[in-house]
């Protein structure tokens, strides 16, 4: 399978679920476009698309908390990417290891 097989949305984006390659924890969710995924393959680090800034961003460029990918998978509909990564430092901009650190109450 290749990037040509992915089903990007009408904005040219695809959601990326980021999972710790060792422990299996879900770390974060981000968006990517084709260029971000091409750079991810080329650089060995996760590159995403910032919808708010309308630009590419490499995880860890400002924080130092980088993500080196081990494996990229796509789901059965090819409209979501699962990135299995080796996380250095926190994944969340709050400083938490995972963005999913809060429990939703009933």
Query: Residue 45's pLDDT is what?
Result: 97
Whether the model clears a pTM of 0.85, i.e. scores above it, the answer is: yes
Q: What angle do CA 71, 75, 77 make, to 5 degrees?
A: 145
- Cβ contacts of residue 66 below 8 Å, gap of 6+? 45, 46, 58, 59, 60, 87, 88, 89
Average pLDDT of the chain is: 97
Query: Domain map of the chain by residue range?
Result: 3-87
pLDDT digits (tens, 9 = 90+) for 12-59: 999 999 999 999 999 999 999 999 999 999 999 999 999 999 999 999
Query: Residue 43's pLDDT is what?
Result: 97
Q: Which pair of structure tokens corresponds to residue 39?
A: 């750079």
CATH code that applies to domain 3-87 = 3.10.20.810
For residue 1, pLDDT beyond 90: no
How crowded is the C-beta side of 95, counted as CA atoms within 13 Å?
0
């Amino acid at each position: 399978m290749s990037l040509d097989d992915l089903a990007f949305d009408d904005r040219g984006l695809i959601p990326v679920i980021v999972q710790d390659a060792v422990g299996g924890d879900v770390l974060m969710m981000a968006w990517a476009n084709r260029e971000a995924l091409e750079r991810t393959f080329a650089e060995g680090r996760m590159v995403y698309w910032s919808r708010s800034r309308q630009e590419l961003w490499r995880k860890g460029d400002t924080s130092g908390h980088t993500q080196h990918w081990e494996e990229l998978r796509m789901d059965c509909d090819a409209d979501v990417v699962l990135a299995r990564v080796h996380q250095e430092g926190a994944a969340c901009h709050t400083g938490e290891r995972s963005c999913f650190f809060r429990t939703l109450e009933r």
